């Protein structure tokens, strides 16, 4: 596997130190307090088991005391230790970034053919987002309706035959830019349709430019069908459906299809795929105001003009835990000719270009890492070597000796606690993992706020003329 990256330079590997980051310190100091509060019967929000598991695994990611791989330079004998990762899905910024880059690389190299693609983004009203967030059947139904409406539009606008199908990769986003729960869909759709061809296997028919009127037609169809599907499933009643269909400005449904990637822009396609597969938050936007308050800077101003949100450490952990994706659920799905059971999938994916990564003449780090693998080991195309991903993302080979610049190779994986401690003590690294703070009682500011809330609640309950709070608000003009 002789691969290379154009313009790549030999750069020494610098081990990341997660214990020095702000996010790690916040979780380290407040995780047990957050979990103990969630176990209390009086607290309204319980911590899901999968979220607790991801938070605990994050505290072990990148820590040498939990095991590591040993890389050695045969030229000068220099050793480098590489800590194991947690391979989490929602908390660890490093593992989230790797998963994002690996997903985008696989789709660009092995799945999506060299044809134009378009991104379709659908957001539903707040009245329906709760069902998408907690009801898997409602989520699947809404996504199928959305993809089917796009395919019908493409086939109808091109006058294609009944055998014509498009292809798409749908990404399910359960988060918004402000660390909030916001389920919506980002779908990368092949901008055209494929028809069976006796000679070439498939024939591609490119779609024409789409205008605002066409997007509005698709949005209207998706809106009507989703509302009726929710009525059939008993999620909303008929009167609510009629009221939502009468709302202005799309009735809370938002559809965008303005982003289009040309066939020869593979770098642009990979950037788009990374955007669609991005993690729910960015650790570099987090800042510490003081030990009790944190600032999370938003990527763009919100509807109220805010550019940042101020959170306590417990609120930050609570928001991150709520955004951890449920286990055994795919974060992206294939549709149409890209679906696993589609008879046209082999012919369509064969049109995807191979990875272009030529090696510099003086460095063979990626090739060496590939040669170290057992010859009988089969690797899925969706799984990329660690060294190849780092070379692809940072345009530098990580297995390069910082002393002499020669190639390094992986010697062993150290997992036994006795060996780990002996090696770390010998080189002067911490032999024990960072200490996790025990659960603590609420600080004074929290007690004061609780007392004020209890007093206000008691005062309103004792006032016979106090206006009761509404059970639920459906008006889209109200910010929930």
Domain definitions of the chain by residue range: 9-92+357-427, 113-281+323-349
Q: How many CB atoms lie within 10 A of CB 148?
A: 15
Instruction: Report CA-CA distances (Å) from 363 to 12, 79, 237, 396.
Output: 12, 18, 66, 11
Q: For residues 170 and 329, give the distance between their C-alpha atoms in angstroms, rounded to a whole number.
A: 13
Q: Where are the alpha helices (DSSP H) in 350-434?
A: 365-371, 386-394, 417-427
Q: For residues 258 and 278, give the distance between their C-alpha atoms in angstroms, rounded to a whole number.
A: 19
Q: Is 259 helix (H, G, I), strand (E, B) or coil?
A: strand
Q: For residues 228 and 50, give the distance between their C-alpha atoms in angstroms, rounded to a whole number.
A: 33
Q: What is the pLDDT of residue 327?
A: 86
Q: For residues 30 and 40, give the distance between their C-alpha atoms in angstroms, rounded to a whole number.
A: 16
Give the number of C-alpha atoms closer than 13 A to the C-alpha of residue 378, restricted to the C-beta side.
1
Per-residue b or e along 97-133, where b marks 16 or more CB atoms closer than 10 Å to that residue's CB: bbbbbbbbbbbbbbbbbebbbbbbbbbbbbbbbebbe
Q: For residues 154 and 210, give the distance between their C-alpha atoms in angstroms, rounded to a whole number.
A: 10
Q: Are 253 and 220 in contact (CB under 8 A)?
A: no
pLDDT 10s per residue in the chain (480 long)?
344 444 444 556 677 889 999 999 999 999 999 998 877 755 666 788 999 999 999 999 999 999 999 988 888 888 888 899 898 888 999 899 888 988 999 999 999 999 999 999 999 999 899 999 889 999 999 999 999 999 999 999 988 888 899 999 999 999 999 999 999 999 999 999 999 988 888 999 999 888 999 999 999 999 999 999 999 999 999 999 999 988 888 888 999 999 999 999 999 999 999 999 999 999 999 999 988 899 999 998 888 888 999 999 999 999 999 999 888 888 899 999 999 999 999 999 998 865 444 444 344 444 444 455 444 455 566 666 666 776 676 666 777 787 887 888 888 999 999 999 999 999 999 999 999 999 887 665 455 555 555 555 555 444 444 445 555 554 544 444
Eight-state DSSP code of residue 149: H
Q: What is the pLDDT of residue 410?
A: 86
Helix (H) or strand (E) holding 212: helix 212-232
Q: For residues 357 and 365, give the distance between their C-alpha atoms in angstroms, rounded to a whole number.
A: 13
Q: Where are the alpha helices (DSSP H) in 304-416?
A: 313-322, 345-349, 365-371, 386-394
Q: How many CB atoms lie within 10 A of CB 27?
A: 24
Radius of gyration of the chain measured on its C-alpha atoms: 26
Q: What is the pLDDT of residue 386?
A: 67
Query: Residue 168, Cα to own-chain centre: how many angstroms?
Result: 18
Determine if the pTM surpasses 0.85: no
């Amino acid at each position: 596997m002789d691969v290379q990256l154009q313009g790549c330079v030999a750069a020494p590997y610098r081990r990341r130190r997660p214990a020095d980051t702000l996010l790690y310190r916040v979780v380290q100091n407040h995780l047990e307090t957050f979990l103990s509060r969630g176990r209390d019967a009086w607290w309204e929000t319980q911590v899901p088991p999968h979220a607790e598991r991801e938070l605990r695994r994050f505290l072990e990611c990148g820590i040498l005391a939990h095991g590591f791989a040993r890389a050695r330079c045969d030229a000068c004998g220099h050793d480098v230790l590489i800590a194991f990762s947690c391979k989490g899905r929602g908390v660890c910024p490093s593992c989230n970034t790797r998963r994002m880059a690996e997903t985008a690389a696989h789709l660009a190299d092995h799945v999506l053919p060299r044809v134009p693609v378009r991104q379709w983004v659908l957001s539903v009203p707040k009245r329906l987002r709760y069902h998408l967030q907690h009801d898997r059947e409602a989520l699947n139904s809404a996504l199928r309706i959305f993809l089917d409406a796009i395919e019908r539009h493409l086939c109808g606008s091109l006058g294609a035959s009944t055998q014509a199908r498009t292809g798409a990769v749908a990404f399910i986003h359960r988060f918004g830019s402000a660390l909030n729960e916001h389920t919506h869909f980002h779908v990368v759709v092949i901008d055209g349709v494929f028809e069976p061809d006796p000679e070439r296997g498939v024939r591609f028919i490119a779609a024409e430019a789409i205008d605002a009127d066409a997007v509005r037609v698709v949005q209207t169809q998706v809106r009507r069908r989703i509302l009726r599907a929710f009525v059939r499933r008993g999620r909303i009643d008929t009167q609510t459906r009629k009221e939502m269909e009468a709302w202005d400005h799309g009735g809370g449904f938002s559809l965008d299809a303005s982003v289009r990637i040309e066939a020869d822009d593979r770098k642009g396609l990979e950037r788009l795929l990374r955007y669609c597969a991005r993690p729910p938050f960015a650790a570099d936007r987090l800042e510490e105001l003081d030990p009790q308050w944190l600032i999370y800077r938003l990527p763009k101003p919100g509807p109220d003009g805010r550019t940042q949100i101020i959170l306590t450490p417990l609120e930050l952990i609570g928001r991150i835990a709520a955004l951890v994706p449920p286990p055994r659920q795919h974060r992206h799905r294939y549709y149409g000719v890209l679906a696993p059971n589609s008879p046209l999938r082999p012919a369509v994916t064969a049109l995807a270009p191979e990875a272009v990564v030529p090696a510099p003449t003086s460095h063979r780090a990626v090739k060496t890492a590939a040669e170290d693998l057992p010859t009988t080991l089969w690797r899925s195309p969706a799984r990329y070597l660690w060294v190849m991903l780092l070379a692809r993302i940072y345009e530098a080979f990580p297995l390069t000796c910082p002393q002499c610049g020669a190639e390094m190779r992986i010697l062993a994986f150290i997992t036994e606690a006795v060996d780990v401690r002996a090696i770390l003590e010998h080189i002067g690294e911490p032999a024990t993992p960072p200490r996790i703070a025990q659960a603590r009682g609420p600080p004074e500011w929290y007690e004061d706020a609780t007392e004020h809330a209890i007093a206000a609640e008691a005062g309103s309950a004792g006032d016979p003329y106090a206006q009761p709070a509404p059970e639920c608000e459906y008006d889209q003009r109200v910010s929930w």
